[in-house]
């Protein structure tokens, strides 16, 4: 297991890129599996950071940067996949009602715009949140296991 955490950054990112593309393919372009994949990625990032733990600020910064990089890759992938459909908004002959997306906003153009915003912008953000969630749960587990959380002293509130 130690060899997995000692991978070079380039190899780890390459492996992540491949698995994220597989997740997007399994979801047929809908990044639900990419969002769910964020949880084990957060676990991996946190475990990798805690091998040689700097101060708390450095660990949290590394986790945020790692989550941002993974989310940016998904954003780029969804932009390449769904971005070409933006041109259809300006085509008067485009049949948006039969494009295959859910008509949740009762109008084909509004539903199409909502779908594109959901796929290109909101889904990578949800993946970022899932990655941070997985990483912070891993950090809490690591702190409780190492006993570092019980050593902290909390000052009583002023006036009480």
In a domain, 157, yes or no: no
Q: Which domain holds residue 89?
A: 2-146
Residue 148 clears pLDDT 70, i.e. is over it: no
Confidence bin at 54 (pLDDT 50/70/90): confident
In a domain, 152, yes or no: no
Q: What is the mean pLDDT of residues 125-147?
A: 93
Q: How far apart are CA 99 and CA 97, in angstroms?
A: 6
Confidence bin at 155 (pLDDT 50/70/90): low
Predicted local distance difference test score (pLDDT) of residue 100: 87
In a domain, 138, yes or no: yes
Q: What is the mean pLDDT of residues 120-132?
A: 97
Burial of 100 (0-12, 13-18, 19+ CB in 10 A): exposed
Length in residues, the chain? 160
Task: Look at residues 98, 71, 69, 64 and name the one whose alpha carbon lies nearest to residue 9.
Answer: 69
pTM of structure: 0.85
Q: What is the mean pLDDT of residues 108-125?
A: 95
User: Domain total for the chain?
Assistant: 1
């Amino acid at each position: 297991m130690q060899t997995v955490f000692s991978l070079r950054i380039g190899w780890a990112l390459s492996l992540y890129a491949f698995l994220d593309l597989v997740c997007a393919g399994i979801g047929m372009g809908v990044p639900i599996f990419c969002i769910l994949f964020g949880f084990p990625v957060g676990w991996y990032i946190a475990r990798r950071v805690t091998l040689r733990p700097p101060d708390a600020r450095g660990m949290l910064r590394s986790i945020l940067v790692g989550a941002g990089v993974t989310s940016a890759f998904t954003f780029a992938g969804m932009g390449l996949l769904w971005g070409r459909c933006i041109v259809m908004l300006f085509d008067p002959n485009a049949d948006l009602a039969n494009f295959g997306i859910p008509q949740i906003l009762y109008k084909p153009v509004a539903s199409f715009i909502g779908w594109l915003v959901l796929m290109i912008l909101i889904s990578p953000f949800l993946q970022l949140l899932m990655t941070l969630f997985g990483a912070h749960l891993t950090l809490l587990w690591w702190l409780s296991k190492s006993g570092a959380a019980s050593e902290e002293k909390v000052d009583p509130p002023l006036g009480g």
